[in-house]
Structure 1
Amino acid sequence: MRHLWLLLTFALVLPGAAGAVPIPEGPDAADLPVFSGTQAVPNPVSSPDPPRHPFMAPNGKSNLHVDGYQSDAHQQLGPLGNDMQRVNTFYAADCASITFDSRGRVIAMCVGLARPVLKMLDPQTLAEIATLDMPPRDAASGVGVDVFSNFSGGGYFFLDEKDRVVTSTTTRHLNVISHTDGAGFKIERDYDLTGVVPSGDSIISALPDWSGRYWFASSKGVVGTVDPATGAIRARATGEPIGNSFAVDETRGVFIVTDAAMYRFEAGADGAPQISWRQGYPNIGIKKPGQTQAGSGTTPTVTAEGNVAITDNADPMNVVVYKKSDGSRVCSQPVFEKGASNTDQSLIAVANSLVVENNYGYTGPTATQQGKTTIGGLERVDVSAAGKCSRVWRSEETSPTVVPKASIQGGIVYTYTKDARSDGADAWYLTALDFRTGKTIYKRLGGEGLGHNNNYAPITIGPNGEVYLGVLGGMLLLRDKTPPTLGGQPSPTAKPRLKLRVRCGRKMRITLTGKDRKRVLRTGFYRGKRRLAGDRRAPFTRRIAKRRLGRPGKRVRLRARVVLKDGRKATVTRRVRTCR
């Protein structure tokens, strides 16, 4: 308990400490291994970036789950393990929600024992640029009951397309906050939601739908909307507790999971929330150790394949996938072991793959003190085109509570781990996993002691390949000495060097060639608009029956639609005469 008392003492003495003070560590820190494993080599995966939300900052910069879909997948590279550097700043508050404005500055909400504080920080040094004290915790609203597992009143916020912070408050208001270099932060709009979110309740999260209307959800199950222009408020009570944020998509759908069911909402003509569909899910009805409520612990995740995914509260827990259009169940997959499975983190969505983390056993900061840790494990579940869920791999790494993130260009899953130690040291590590295999690539020490416990805060990959992480002591920044690159690969905007080769025989043989063929993930061959064949493996060649190409000697246009491993797409065209 020595670390806990040390941190609380600092919290009382230095509630507004600036970035000059490092996060305290215990005496064991100097003896811990700083780095293990090998430097990562980027191995991009193919996964389309969710559409940019018109009323939010760009993907990767707008909210703690990356985008409107809540994919938790960053397109850019993260640290590769190249002579990594560490920067940290002590606030005695967990700076969990981290975003980036159009000038690259860090905008974060740091939630402490007394109140949330909005901060603007230098992205390289974490020096404080501006700060705004938000309303204090209010026990009457239910916000102050459990300071380590309640994220209402500021734990979730988003940055809009004008660099403004939109956040709920502990007083059950919704604030729109702008900032300038001269005056710091300024509250532009203050929407009072106390008329629909009564005392004893609290606002868990707020996001805009694709029309720009603000939506909010409360911990006791109120779902509502705010018209930004008029301030008109519409709400309905589900009567079912809500413990996490929600997802939005370009169909103007709003996807919310309660402790009882998965919902799709949409605004009616008057702006009021309307239920498009509702689907219950398996729930044993208890709050497992590691959960913050007795239900799904996930923020819903929308996928590029037209699905929305959560975990349920069965034993063992399942990853459950629904069609986002009508709520019909696509598939489910049990994960982890009976009697030892739950999560309080959003799933990572990479194409048709979902990565889930096990948080079983985390009952609060003391669960990982004095060398202890939790059950652990991460698993990858894929959803086939036929609608079948299957487990691809399992990692035995132990991530007590972090929101893990994927790097699409790197082909890496980043998590934050803590192993059990007989010497009582509390060592926390940024850990990189191979997305394809689940194998550990490297571990880099984040820090030792309670102050480096992230306590449900997410990993955030910065614009220059850094990792930012809120911890109970403040904020941690880990980066390569030199910003990561694709290691000689062309930039994502470069035109691939590819061409089509055609040979005649009993069938026409079409082959994709060129200097960039080794970077190809898959291709489809076409005559005009008609698909002839597809190929997912080198040498990317197909033999096509002559009758499918037209009469002998006819000039036709052949095309290859190509997806590269780094996410680029290209079309290669060649006009040829059909074989005689």
Structure 2
Amino acid sequence: MFERMGRAAATAALSMTALLIFSTGTATAGFGSLPPANPHLGPPGTATMHGDAESSDATPFAGPGTGSVDSDFRELAAACPTILQGADGMPQALCTKIIDRAPTVFLLDPANGQPLASLDLSKGSLLGGVYAYLDSSDRMVTVDGSGKLLRIGHRRDGGDWTVFIDSATDIAQAVTGHCGGGDCDAVSSVMPDFDGRVWFATDNAVAGFSDPAIGVARSIVLGPGEKVANSISTAPEGVAVATTHALYLVDVDSSGNPRVVWRQAYDRGPARKPGQLSWGTGATPTFFGPGSGTEYLAITDNAVPKENLLVFDTATGNRICSVPTVDGTENSPIGAGNSLFVAGTYGYPYPAVPEGAGPSEPANAQFTGGMVRVDVTGAGCRVVWTNKALSAAVPRLSVADGKIYTVTRHTVIPTGSVGLTDNFRYTVIDAVSGRIEAEKLIGATALHNTLQMVGTISPDRTLYQGTMSGLFRIAPR
């Protein structure tokens, strides 16, 4: 439908749909405002891996629901952690090919999830093939292995679709200048701020931006010896970066250079835990709040035995609270209004971990899962509920229907640990009570492993969920 509409009309229609659904959902579900929309991104809920610039992992769109659904698997020979959708209604996936671990952009048919066109990118670091976003022109923005900031467009030529590089900006000097150039560092994630600068963080904890208004890229080293293993988040107050040692808020000083506004170290524990991909927080920072939608900033630490959910005042960096939640997690907290939701990944068996992640302690463990809801109140923070959901994906909250959508992993033949006989189930959780309301078997092989990837809900209630070899398209029947 959106293909036959003008871009302005499509954007207006999506915005109105989001407004109507969101207004109904908040009255029904009881969750507060989503964070403010970044004007340099595509539609809220579908423009970034975590839904928006603030990484709320919440969406204004209702999900497939608890009724009958159709689940179709699309084999792409690539792991697909990032599935986005622009105002034109066309889904786009940034995937990492299994054979050579190089990133590929797929344009998908919104009617069935089949690939319409693709574009291979030059290989960089592992996370360089994971984090990206859609800009306000529906172009995917990412950095390739050569240090170029790419804006990737798509168009229809006759009866065929094509994916192409619309623009490329060399930011290599800002990325690797601190360590001598070459391949000494690589961009791990990108996100625009509210003034249009494209911020990035690197594997070795460099934070900087490319400013299209003045045509320059600038950067600073956050902390020697620190690493960045998750995405960055932006809000009107600044850019949040979680390293393996500390949480930072950065912005731009009066001279136009990046600066650290505040830094808060956290308990990174004695080692990487099983079920994590780095030694430190597994969380992308989450801006949230019941007022502006960004007055708080949250991550999880890596404490033993339970990891703490840490909530900070965005403006000052002062800690609001620290609450023990799960054994361990690689997931970003969901944030909506004054509520946070944390899903445990302790013991989740990944087929491989990033180079340099280091050994886990213990070497392996049973997948314990579990999910916790924590509300921020005037007196601090309190645990509202816990459940035992074995979430195998980063959950997504719909404020339209009050449901949390994820995929759970279940062991068929008990062996004391998670094994190859496990199956994967589309799962719906009531966000108010934590009760699991629906589960449906969608996959039973290693190809269907959702590997703690994020699901994206489109305006037509379709859930796109990446796996280690492709993606699921789950829609109401």
TM score, norm. by length of structure 2: 0.84
- Output aligned runs, 1:18-29, within 5 Å: none
Q: CA deviation at 1:366?
A: 8.3
State yes or no: 1:478 paired with 2:465: no
Query: Whose Rg is larger?
Result: 1
Find the counterpart in structure 2 of residue 525 from structure 1. none
Kindly state the Cα deviation for residue 447 of structure 1 after the two structures are TM-superposed: 0.8
Instruction: Report SS of the residue matched to 1:343.
Output: coil
> Structure 1 CA distance, aligned partners of 2:328 and 2:366?
15
Residue from 179, 189, 197 that aligns with 2:175: 197
Structure 2 Cα separation of the partners of residues 135 and 397 of structure 1: 38
2:362 aligned with 1:394: no
Residue of structure 2 in register with 1:518 after alignment: none
1:127 maps to which residue? 114
Does 2:464 correspond to 1:468? yes
Check if 1:376 corresponds to 2:372. no
Q: Where does the alignment leave 5 or more consecutive residues of structure 1 unmatched?
A: 1-41, 144-149, 482-580
User: Retained in 2: the 8 A contact 1:373–1:420?
Assistant: no
Tell me how far apart the structure 1 counterparts of residues 387 and 186 of structure 2 sit (CA, whole Å).
36
How is 1:509-524 mapped onto 2 (pairs within 5 angstroms)? none
Q: Deviations over 1:418-463 (max 9, x none)?
A: 1222276321011111111111100012211111101131011111
Residue of structure 2 aligned with 1:422, choices 413, 417, 442: 413
Q: Give the CA deviation at 1:231.
A: 2.9
In structure 2, what residue type is equivalent to 1:93?
A: A
Alignment check: 8 A CA contact 2:88 2:138 kept: no
Stretches of 4+ aligned residues off by more than 3 angstroms: none
CA contact (8 A) 2:34 2:336 kept: no
Q: Map Cα deviations across residues 481-513 of structure 1 (whole Å, 9 max, x no partner).
A: 1xxxxxxxxxxxxxxxxxxxxxxxxxxxxxxxx
Q: In the alignment, which of 321, 332, 336 is matched to residue 350 of structure 1? A: 336
Is 1:413 aligned with 2:404?
Answer: yes
Equivalent residue for 1:187, pick from 165, 178, 197: 165
Alignment of 1:4-403 (within 5 A): 43-113=28-98, 114=100, 115-136=102-123, 143=125, 150=126, 152-182=127-157, 184-198=162-176, 199-238=183-222, 239=224, 240-251=226-237, 253-305=238-290, 306-315=295-304, 316-336=306-326, 341-365=327-351, 374-386=367-379, 388-400=380-392, 402-403=393-394
SS in 1 for 2:410: coil
Change in Cα spacing, 1:454 to 1:373, as seen in structure 2 (3 Å) is farther
TM-score, normalization: structure 1? 0.69
Q: Which amino acid aligns with 2:404?
A: V
Partner of 2:16: none
Please say if residues 373 and 419 of structure 1, whose CA atoms lie closer than 8 Å, have aligned partners that are also in contact.
Answer: no
The count of residues paired between Structure 1 and Structure 2 equals 417
Q: Secondary structure at the match of 1:87?
A: strand
CA distance in 1, matches of 2:394, 2:259: 30
Over 3 Å counting, the alpha-carbon distance change for 1:270 and 1:186 in structure 2 is farther
Is the 1:79–1:467 Cα contact (8 Å) retained in structure 2? Answer: yes
Mapped contact 1:365–1:450 kept (Cα < 8 A)? no
Letter aligned with residue 420 of structure 1: T
2:106/2:119 contact within 8 Å kept: yes
Rounded Cα–Cα distance in structure 2 between residues aligned with 1:203 and 1:61: 22
Asked if the contact 1:373/1:418 (under 8 Å) is kept, the reply is: no
Quick one: distance in 2 between partners of 1:80 and 1:46? 18
- CA–CA distance in 1 between the matches of 2:320 and 2:470? 41
Q: Is the 8 A contact 1:376 1:398 kept in 2?
A: yes
Structure 2 counterpart SS, 1:195: helix
CA distances 1:96-139 after superposition (whole Å, capped 9, x unpaired): 21111222110111111321110111112112222111113x5x
CA distance in 1, matches of 2:95, 2:442: 18
- In structure 1, the residue corresponding to 2:447 is in which secondary structure? helix
**Alpha-carbon offset, residue 47 of structure 1:** 1.9
Query: Would you say the 8 A contact 1:215–1:225 is kept in 2?
Result: yes
Could you tell me how far apart the structure 2 residues matched to 1:269 and 1:233 are? 16
Unaligned runs of 5+ in 2: 1-26, 177-182, 354-364, 415-419
Give the partner amino acid of 1:399.
Answer: S
Please give the alpha-carbon distance, in whole angstroms, between the structure 2 residues aligned to 1:390 and 1:44. 19
What is the alpha-carbon distance in structure 2 between the residues aligned to residue 364 and residue 418 of structure 1?
A: 13
Residues 240 and 249 in structure 2, CA contact (< 8 A), matched pair in contact too: yes
Indicate the residue corresponding to 1:515 in structure 2.
Answer: none
Check conservation: 1:446, 1:478, Cα contact below 8 A: no
Write the deviation string for residues 259-286 of structure 1: whole angstroms up to 9, x where unpaired. Answer: 1111110012343211111111122241
Q: For 2:149 and 2:352, how far apart are their aligned partners in 1?
A: 33
d(CA) in 2 for partners of 1:285 and 1:219?
21
> How far apart are 1:83 and its partner, in Å?
2.1
User: What does the per-residue CA deviation read over 1:315-349, in whole Å, with 9 as the maximum and x for residues that have no partner?
Assistant: 1200000000010000110013xxxx111111001
